[in-house]
């Protein structure tokens, strides 16, 4: 089954633009508990509620506000946001190349597979192989769904992986933690302790195989679900249908620009920034993907009677907020 492209744009470093698409690299593996109305077995969704009045309000009456003091908000419109930061939203703009070992895993948050599109495969392979040979990764900025992210572009086998990162001010410092100081004499192990520790590590060492590790909690819960389903203890739930979001597909073929760039065209230093964009650069920026408004059909009331095990499939995604 083909992977759905969730974002289209280009990797940019120097004058080189590589047209790419993003694909989800992970999936939720836990048990997906849905909210249901126990009286009617109707799925329970989220509503826009005025916290003061408790009443539901229309989407048209919702605005975005930023709290700058306790209880004091500044209202900003989508147009004002776009004017304040009129940068392209369809570019993975590499700021700098750094040693892969120099970036702590604590900054990594969410991975996406990056795949070439529009004849960008050769330049894609060039960037990937160069990163592998130099031991570098690219530190980039990218806007996804109106939010700017810091990201690491990392080679992984045949693929480039864009791993969204936490900003520096989002990672707490170690200050205040009672940690043993590295290299402290009073914390140094004795030769015999170090020898035994190394032996234990060697004994427990092996090649990384993600298939070895399973979600035991999920397995136990699903075993219970299957047992109850076989016993006929199921409820029929009619899930309202929603439209799938539509995504723009208007990235221009940048093969000519890539060829010119590889022949010697470079942009100024300073972490991959500086220099002027060519006309082709500006034209290559695709429009941000637009989401279609989801329409919900009325939920139908279903009788709480015994059904076959096949009725145990429920597609609702209205999960309880953490």
Distance CA 182, CA 312 (A): 54
How far lies 294's CA from each of 46, 243, 246, 313, in Å? 13, 6, 11, 22
Plot region of 252 (φ>0 → left; ψ -120 to 50 → alpha; else → beta)? beta
Distance CA 213, CA 5 (A): 28
Question: Per-residue pLDDT for the chain (322 aa), expressed as one digit of tens each?
Answer: 667 888 898 898 888 889 999 898 877 666 677 777 788 777 777 788 888 888 888 888 888 888 877 777 888 887 787 777 656 568 899 999 999 999 999 999 999 999 999 989 999 999 999 999 999 999 999 988 768 899 999 999 999 999 999 999 899 888 888 888 888 888 888 888 888 989 988 988 999 888 887 878 778 887 888 888 888 877 676 666 555 444 444 444 445 555 555 555 544 434 444 333 433 333 333 333 333 333 333 333 334 333 333 333 433 433 333 3
Q: What is the pTM of this model?
A: 0.57
Do residues 318 and 243 make contact, with C-beta atoms less than 8 angstroms apart? no
Distance CA 122, CA 52 (A): 57
Distance CA 139, CA 75 (A): 32
Distance CA 20, CA 9 (A): 6
């Amino acid at each position: 089954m083909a992977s759905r492209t969730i974002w289209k744009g280009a990797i940019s470093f120097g004058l080189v633009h590589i047209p790419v698409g993003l694909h989800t690299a992970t999936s939720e593996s836990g048990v997906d508990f849905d909210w249901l109305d126990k009286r009617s077995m109707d799925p329970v969704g989220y509503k826009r509620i005025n916290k003061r009045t408790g009443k539901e309000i229309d989407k048209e009456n919702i605005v975005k506000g930023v709290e700058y003091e306790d209880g004091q908000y500044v209202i900003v419109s989508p147009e004002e946001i776009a004017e304040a930061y009129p940068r392209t939203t369809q570019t993975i703009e590499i700021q700098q190349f750094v040693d892969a070992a120099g970036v702590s895993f604590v900054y990594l948050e969410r991975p996406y597979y990056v795949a070439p599109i529009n004849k960008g495969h050769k330049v894609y392979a060039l960037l990937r192989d160069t990163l592998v040979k130099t031991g570098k990764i690219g530190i980039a900025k990218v806007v996804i769904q109106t939010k700017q992210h810091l990201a690491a572009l990392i080679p992984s086998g045949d693929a480039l992986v864009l791993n969204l990162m936490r900003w520096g001010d989002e990672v707490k410092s170690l200050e205040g933690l009672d940690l043993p100081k590295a290299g402290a004499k009073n914390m140094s192990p004795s030769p015999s302790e170090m020898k035994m520790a190394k032996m234990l590590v060697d004994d427990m060492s092996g090649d990384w195989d993600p298939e070895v590790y399973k979600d035991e909690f999920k397995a136990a819960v699903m075993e219970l679900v299957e047992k109850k389903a076989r016993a006929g203890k199921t409820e029929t739930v009619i899930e309202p249908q929603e439209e799938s979001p539509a995504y723009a597909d208007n990235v221009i073929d940048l093969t000519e620009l890539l060829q010119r760039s590889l022949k010697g065209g470079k942009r100024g230093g300073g972490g991959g920034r500086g220099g002027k964009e060519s006309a082709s650069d500006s034209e290559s920026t695709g429009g941000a993907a637009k989401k279609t408004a989801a329409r919900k059909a009325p939920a139908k009331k279903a009788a709480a009677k015994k059904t076959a095990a096949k009725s145990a499939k429920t597609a609702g995604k209205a999960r309880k907020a953490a």
